[in-house]
Structure 1
Amino acid sequence: MRTKMIVLFGLLMLGLTVNMAAEQAAISVPVDNFDFGYVPRDANICHRFWLYSKGPDTLKISNVRPGCGCTKAPLDKAIVAPGDSTAVELIFNTKNYSGKVSKSATIMTNAIPATNRVSFSAFIIKDKDTTLPLAFTPEIVKIRCNNTKNHVKALVSIKNVSANDLMLALDSYPDGLFEVKLPKKIKAGKQANAEIRISNKAAAFEKSFTIQVDDAEKTRFTIPVVYGDSLDNSVHTNR
């Protein structure tokens, strides 16, 4: 009799555990790593990671903890209904860094497992590298707000310093803040312009966009973009 009671109790507890698991919140992070490629020093670069609530219960994000003080990780919203999504943005300041860098942030939730991690890598260029296939001028785009126009724009000169024609693709940019028009192809030894267009309704920001090249190494470059009222006229590239 005692054995039967123990078995029944065990089955009851198992059923409760299975039922609780079935009602548990769940998180999905389809892309948990991003490669910025080559980036300039003394700038902020950023990328948004999307988090999806996949379980029957509401996903609650209790904390997002960056791995170091050089990285910030603002979260769009902490309470995510089933089927909905949110995003966490990793913002990294490249000051005082050079060479290969990898950073991450830990996301703590009520899902199982309770922790998830998103990460990025970058190669910080301290001095000009003549071995890279593209050269950018300016390396950091600074745009001063012009309240007399609906939009402001800046041009980035991109020179193909390699021996081969190169195709360019826009890999990542902060949708809704600015538009980027890239040349699709730059012939060997030639130069073309990328155009950045910002609405004057935008608040001041420091963001970035990432380009991928179709060379054998799939080289990537990230261009920081700074927009605001207080930029020095000597450095802004508004045209």
Structure 2
Amino acid sequence: MRPFLLSLMVPALCLAQAPSISVDQPHFDFGKLYGDAKAVHRFKVSNKGNAALNISRLNPSCGCTSTVIGQWTLNPGQSTEVEATFNPVGFRGPVHKSIQVVSNDPANPTVDLTFEAEVLREIMPSSEAVFLQDVQRTSPRKVSVRLVSGNGKPVHVTDARSPGAPYLSCSVRPEGNDAWVDILLEGTKIPASRQSGTDAVVVKTDNPRAAVINVTVQWELRASVVAEPGRVAWVEPAGKEQRSKVVLKQVDGKPFRILSARTTNPVLRVEGGGKGASSRHDLQVVLSANAKAGMYSEKILVTTDSPDQPEVEIRVAASLR
């Protein structure tokens, strides 16, 4: 009986010898942080077991870094610290992050250390990107961005403009400690060939911690004259004239005139333009029989007298064999 009892006790003793990871406070709240000040907290990690605890690695989530301060191997009863550093640059509002501690604790091989913070900025824009869609070229459109004071002091804007975009203008109006930046898009100043774009409005303040604030403006003009189809394509043998019908329509039914039609290749021409005003114009896109074999990717630019749509683009593709 004794050898049998001893054989049962030895495995039981071996199983009892194991490390046990323990964290005093696995969660920490940094509270309110400004966007340019790094924050550091140390979590206390202990070995409550009766065998050596080996910390093999730390897996931080994005936006923070971590390291073990002291020992990576803890004997029973020993402790160390895991230092978490959070860089709030690029964050705004409530933030929740974690660090995964991986060890040889058989019962709990991964432990999550978590922290939270509310990231504030000295000046907080209500939006860093604005969208202006379905804009009529002849009707200016305005959008406003509020610059919210994050420190209780008035926001003073020293300059606001969009370099390289003469069709965007800015004005500033205060409201309490905040300031509004009104951005005006004037479609009549947009080049006739452009129907959409993305520009940056640069706002400057007298606050050294928020000296420059960038606001992205995405805009798209409403198409008042459309081409149906907007793309012509041929896959044909060379040496034969190709024709396709394209209809230009005014979406509101208003009459307009076609003033000219320019092509990017002399083997292309447009027939049917130059007539009187109408809400619909039937055109013929013609590829000359002189076009040689090969691949073609061209454009036709039709100029109209419509103030909302001075230019219409038609794409042309051909594969001649």
Relative to its length, the structure with more strand (as a share) is 2
Q: Which structure ranks higher in relative contact order (CA pairs < 8 Å, sequence separation ≥ 6)?
A: 1
In the superposition, the TM-score normalised over structure 1's length comes to: 0.47
Rg comparison, structure with higher value:
2
In the superposition, the TM-score normalised over structure 2's length comes to: 0.35
